[in-house]
Amino acid sequence: MAPDPKENGSSVDRMDHDEQPASTKVPAKDAKDAKKKKDEKKDEDLSEEDAALKEQLELYVERVNDSNPGIQKMALESMRQEIRTATSSMTSVPKPLKFLRPHYKTLKGYYETMETPELKMFLADIISVLALTMSEENERESLQYRLLGSVGDIGSWGHEYVRNLAGEIGLEFQQRQVNEKSVEDLMDLVKQIVPFHVKHNAEPEAVDLLMEVESLELLIGHIDKGNYKRTCSYLTSFSSYMPEPDDMLVLDVAYQIYRKFEKYPDAMRVALRMDNSQYIKATFKDCNDFLEKQQLCYILARQGVSLDLDDGSLASEDQKEKLQEIISNSKLSEGYLTLARDLDVMEPKTPEDIYKAHLVDGRAGAGASVDSARQNLAATFVNAFVNAGFGQDKLMTAPNVDSSSGSSANSWLFKNKEHGKASAAASLGLILLWDVDDGLPQIDKYFYTQDNHIIAGALLAVGIVNCGVRNECDPAYALLYESVNKEDSTTRIGAIMGLGLAYAGSQKEEVLELLTPIVTDSKVGIDVAGFAAMSLGLIYVGSCNQEVAQSILHALMERSESELGEPMGRFLCHGLGLLYLGKQDDVDATMEVAKTLNPKISQYCQVTLDSCAYAGTGNVLKVQRLLGLCADHLDKGESHQAPAVLGIALVAMAEELGLEMAIRSLEHLLQYGEQNIRRAVPLALGILSISNPKIAVMDTLSRLSHDSDSEVAMAATMSLGLIGAGTNNARIAGMLRNLSSYYYKDPSLLFCVRIAQGLVHMGKGLLTLNPYHSDRFLLSNVALAGLMTFLHGCLDMKSVILGKYHYVLYYLVLAMQPRMLITLDTNLKPLSVPVRVGQAVDVVGQAGRPKTITGFQTHTTPVLLATGDRAELATEKYLPLSSVLEGFVILKPNPDYQHDHLSS
């Protein structure tokens, strides 16, 4: 083996570098001489000015130990002056600090022997600054001598010194907390540092320091009109990375700052993020500008929060009516259709327009021409998704071909078999989405038929039309409550599901009284009880309502093992989980009860409760726990790993970093996980990138859609639809067309492909399923609940979506929202203004006024906003009442605007 040249061959080089062979010991005297020579050589390199400064500083150091206090004082003041006035480049140490470094220990020795207290404090200040470059790690000498020094202005020593001090204070504070010592002296320093940071545009550093010393509320007094935006954007964005309950404390401070400067729309968003009803009411009440109040109502309506307007804060009944109209979302349909007309997409589309069979290879043609019930059912859903909210289509609302009543709609209805008719009738509700006044009369005619499936579909359609829209007449309850206790189970499910969709998030007590007996009655079929539990979970989503929780737990205890093993039995667990959506620790008591349930369902229930309670929180420990569950090798028949996989996605979707890490973890599960885990992974990927077609996720799902396990392939196909939902994404559309050709002989997989095609072209590209809105700051509980219900249905694709419960697909309606920006004038009429739409850029904590979007295009409102897009006004003629341009935004004329006659 050849000798290693590095081992002994380069001894000559080493001698060159060290000037002595390694084996020869240098006598101490020679070493000193060598060092002296080296220092002399260094001195020769200095310029005359630097050499003079060095001599001067060395003289000051000697004078500090003079017996005359007057000379000592003069030397200290001169040294202090030199250090303070020294300037340097960003990459080098200031020269006085550099030249005083060798004397650091000397000065520390002088400090110990010095007697005059005033001079001692002076010297402590200087040693504290020198410790910036000389102190040993974890010694915190800079802080130690600062506390011994003068109380004067610490900012005069420079920004770097203050930052170093802030870091040492954080460490010292933690240590003293552990040892239970007083921290008053540290807090005095903090009160000097925070104003310095805020004054010098370093608000994030002030926030970090106050968080370290657990006194964030001190920040409010130091923020002014010039820096509140930067401070609050930092607070709100880093709250996502804080553990509970610190995250709420951070948001609370941001809320107080917004309130201090009367920025009510921003304060309202923070109050909604905190889910604090008192703050929501207080913000609304304190806002005196009626125009701004209307903007607040648009924000509340988007989040699905209703507010009691009878609190006496409104001047007139007319104002109350206007606000009620906005907050009840009754203008949503009008705004959506305005957008559609502007983009010229009002023309109804047929399923064939979506399938584009002429672009597919020849072999799919034969399969496509067969008029099968399964394919007609798929066409029903595609037609409903594509024409959602447009009020017209070519299958269900097409004008009558002849004078006999409803021949064209009826002919399509009867091309479906049994429970397929229910979905076909319900599809009318989706086509007429949000349009209660015009929609209900068109649905009404289906109530007079003898076919229970059609009646069930019509009842469900009523719920879908009223989804997200509040109406003072309350038509949904009036039309549905009688059918809840009918004999026929299909009719009952239609009415129960309709109530769940119509009143999701409203906590309506009448529905609670109506549905609770159905959940607890053990004679009722498990499917009816499952849907009743689901509807109660949706209506009381995130409310922790104990009455509902107890009734569902009672049902889980009473039911037999075989019933609990059915897919609809699991819906009981999911309904229970929705009650605690995002509520974290509040689920603990119910979790303990879940541990005592039948072993068949206990573990499934616990995982569902855990993943619901921490959904959208980004809690890393929960993600690790759920990943741990996925690592277990299970006995046959256990099914809790699939919801654990979904749980990972739901918890991690809170912020971008966690989201990316979750996608990587899911890739590992695909490679090493058991079969039941692999079946859930595509669905988890779908929820992580919902309505946001990322190339990497798209490719993974495309690969899985050809998997040898048909369940994995079906889940992946559905997820392709979810990630492209409402985007009209051409790449996904092409993939799905190829899949329709690939699976033309497999009716189940072809059905999934068709549904995915309908989702991609949902609302002709005007809708989104993303539960996050307001610049990804707010999470809609109702939208997330709808998506989770759909995903839980997809966990057992063959029994639910491909079985007789395919109407579970309609739970997606809860998450459907127009992805639009419509600007309104002061009379709430659409106003066309130029806006720049581009990719959002994270500018949190950046100095100055950086650009918030990149790669923008200028359009005239109304405009579409994709996931990750941000809009900003391209004119100074108007001022928006909301800082986030999404949905409905009211503009008021800018009083300072001067019309440029040259540009006209």
Cα torsion through 489, 493, 496, 497, rounded to 10: 180
- % the chain with pLDDT above 70: 87
Flag whether pLDDT at 403 surpasses 50. no
Flag whether pLDDT at 21 surpasses 50. no
Q: pLDDT tens digits, residue range 83-141? A: 767 655 445 567 777 777 677 677 777 767 777 777 777 777 777 777 777 666 766 77
* Residue 313: per-residue pLDDT: 61
Contacts of 805 (CB under 8 A, 6+ apart): 527, 567, 568, 793, 799
Are the C-beta atoms of residues 395 and 353 closer than 8 Å to each other?
A: no
Flag whether pLDDT at 369 surpasses 50. no
* Residue 517: per-residue pLDDT: 87
Are the C-beta atoms of residues 226 and 253 closer than 8 Å to each other?
A: no
* Residue 9: per-residue pLDDT: 44
Which comes out higher in pLDDT, residue 452 or 102? Answer: 452
Residue with tokens 């950046």: 846
Residue with tokens 């159905």: 518
Q: Nearest-CA neighbor of 752 among 783, 789, 794?
A: 794
* 3-state SS class at 768: strand
The sign of the dihedral angle between the CA atoms of 242, 247, 253, 255 is positive
Dist CA 751 CA 718 (whole Å): 10
Dist CA 412 CA 757 (whole Å): 20
Indicate the pLDDT class of residue 178, thresholds 50, 70 and 90.
Answer: confident
> Using only C-alpha atoms, what is the Rg of the chain?
34
Flag whether pLDDT at 801 surpasses 70. yes
- Tell me the mean pLDDT in the region 576-593: 88
CB-count burial class (<10 Å; 0-12, 13-18, 19+) for 854: exposed
- Tell me the mean pLDDT in the region 7-26: 42
Fill in the DSSP letter of residue 490: H
Amino acid at 707: D
Kindly report the average pLDDT of the chain as a whole number: 81
Flag whether pLDDT at 402 surpasses 50. no
Contacts of 492 (CB under 8 A, 6+ apart): 483, 484, 485, 486, 518, 528
Half-sphere exposure of 590 (CA within 13 A, CB side): 33
Which comes out higher in pLDDT, residue 65 or 428? Answer: 428
Q: pLDDT tens digits, residue range 468-493? A: 888 777 888 888 878 878 888 888 88
Q: pLDDT tens digits, residue range 745-790? A: 888 888 899 999 999 999 888 999 999 988 888 989 999 999 999 9
- % the chain with pLDDT above 90: 13
Contacts of 363 (CB under 8 A, 6+ apart): 741, 744
* Residue 101: per-residue pLDDT: 67
* Residue 60: per-residue pLDDT: 67
* Residue 376: per-residue pLDDT: 84
Are the C-beta atoms of residues 789 and 811 closer than 8 Å to each other?
A: yes
Are the C-beta atoms of residues 593 and 573 closer than 8 Å to each other?
A: no
Flag whether pLDDT at 11 surpasses 70. no
Q: pLDDT tens digits, residue range 802-855? A: 888 888 899 999 999 998 899 999 888 889 999 999 988 888 877 777 888 888
User: Of the ranges 253-267, 315-329, 573-587, 863-877, which one carries the lowest mean pLDDT score?
Assistant: 315-329
User: Of the ranges 75-84, 174-183, 316-325, 856-865, which one carries the lowest mean pLDDT score?
Assistant: 75-84
Helix (H) / strand (E) element for 704: namely helix 695-704
* Residue 650: per-residue pLDDT: 92
- Tell me the mean pLDDT in the region 530-550: 89
Which tokens belong to 716? 């992946």
Please report, in angstroms and rounded to a whole number, the separation of the first and last CA atoms in the chain.
85
Flag whether pLDDT at 38 surpasses 60. no
Indicate the pLDDT class of residue 410, thresholds 50, 70 and 90.
Answer: low
Contacts of 423 (CB under 8 A, 6+ apart): 377, 380, 381, 416, 457, 806, 807, 809, 810
Flag whether pLDDT at 191 surpasses 60. yes
Helix (H) / strand (E) element for 837: namely strand 834-840
* Residue 317: per-residue pLDDT: 79
Flag whether pLDDT at 53 surpasses 80. no
Flag whether pLDDT at 39 surpasses 60. no
Q: pLDDT tens digits, residue range 162-171? A: 888 888 888 8
Helix axis angle for 117-134 and 159-178, nearest 10°, is 100
Dist CA 352 CA 375 (whole Å): 12
Which comes out higher in pLDDT, residue 332 or 411? Answer: 332
Cα torsion through 492, 493, 499, 501, rounded to 10: -160
CB-count burial class (<10 Å; 0-12, 13-18, 19+) for 104: middle
Q: pLDDT tens digits, residue range 216-232? A: 888 888 888 888 888 88
The b-or-e profile of 199-214 (16+ CB within 10 A means b, else e) is: eeebbbbbbbbbbbbe
* Residue 311: per-residue pLDDT: 62
* Residue 716: per-residue pLDDT: 92
Q: Nearest-CA neighbor of 693 among 774, 756, 619?
A: 756
* Residue 720: per-residue pLDDT: 92
Flag whether pLDDT at 28 surpasses 60. no
Longest dimension (CA), the chain: 118
Q: Nearest-CA neighbor of 388 among 437, 470, 332?
A: 332
* 3-state SS class at 724: coil
Contacts of 724 (CB under 8 A, 6+ apart): 691, 693, 732, 733, 756, 759, 760
Q: State how far the alpha carbon of 114 is from the alpha carbons of 72, 100, 291, 708, in Å.
A: 10, 19, 69, 84
* Phi and psi, residue 211, nearest 5°: -70, -40
Q: State how far the alpha carbon of 612 is from the alpha carbons of 565, 607, 609, 784, in Å.
A: 21, 8, 5, 10
Sequential DSSP letters for 404-468: STTHHHHHHHTTS-HHHHHHHHHHHHHHTTT-HHHHHHHHHGGGGSS-HHHHHHHHHHHHHHTTT
* Residue 5: per-residue pLDDT: 45
Cis peptide before 862 (omega within 30 of 0): yes
Indicate the pLDDT class of residue 596, thresholds 50, 70 and 90.
Answer: confident
